[in-house]
Chains A and B, each alone.
Chain A
Amino acid sequence: AQKVTQAQTEISVVEKEDVTLDCVYETRDTTYYLFWYKQPPSGELVFLIRRNSFDEQNEISGRYSWNFQKSTSSFNFTITASQVVDSAVYFCALRNYGGSQGNLIFGKGTKLSVKP
């Protein structure tokens, strides 16, 4: 079975704080993809990153960084020096390789509120 768990339902921080959003996944597949999406109040799901299961390199993009650890089945997302515009719901998602399914398994999302 495939499953994505985002244990943090809501997080509230003050601007300029660093914040880490946790994501733990379960899959029997040896090859798979992991994703993070941001959903601001406007509703659009904004793609942030895709990580292949065979690539455990961590990635940094500006204030965003991702820590992929296959040993603990985790794909955590850190925002450094958070800003009010980072306020959104963040979804972690999983998809198997060879997607005749093309189906994303989403976590329940973490609502991040960044206060000025």
Chain B
Amino acid sequence: DTEVTQTPKHLVMGMTNKKSLKCEQHMGHRAMYWYKQKAKKPPELMFVYSYEKLSINESVPSRFSPECPNSSLLNLHLHALQPEDSALYLCASSRRDTSGNTEAFFGQGTRLTVV
């Protein structure tokens, strides 16, 4: 089972709203990631969690707040977003071996529209 599940699949929110994106995996992976993908562009890394601890924050604005409640769950809390934050948000996970992280498995993403 190589499934990463993201909810919701689509989200429309106003600039004053607070919403959360959820990601779940049951593969026993200890590294989890949030990526942002604009149309016709490759994914861009936002955050990396390793063993439930935030290990990388790629200078993401504070209106994006990640949370890793346990080894299977990853959330992305959204507040006061801008229209330019509209994008596909992808969650991924990977296991760690002696060489570091192995291949990442991605969810289907949440298509976010900020109005």
Contact = CB atoms under 8 A, between A and B. Distances in A.
Contacts, number: 67
Given A100-B55, A106-B43, A50 B109 contact: no
Contact of A102 (B50, B106, B107, B108): B50
Contacts of A108: 41-42
Given A97-B100, A98-B99, A42 B108 contact: yes
Interface residues of A, number: 26
A106 B42 contact: yes
A56 to B, nearest CB: 17
Q: Give the dominant DSSP class at A's interface.
A: loop
A103 B48 contact: yes
B21 interface: no
Which range contains the number of B residues in contact with the other chain? 20 to 34
A95 B94 CA distance: 13
Given A33-B99, A44-B106, A102-B31, 13 more contacts: A37-B106, A42-B108, A43-B108, A44-B109, A45-B43, A47-B104, A47-B105, A91-B42, A97-B100, A99-B99, A102-B33, A102-B94, A107-B42
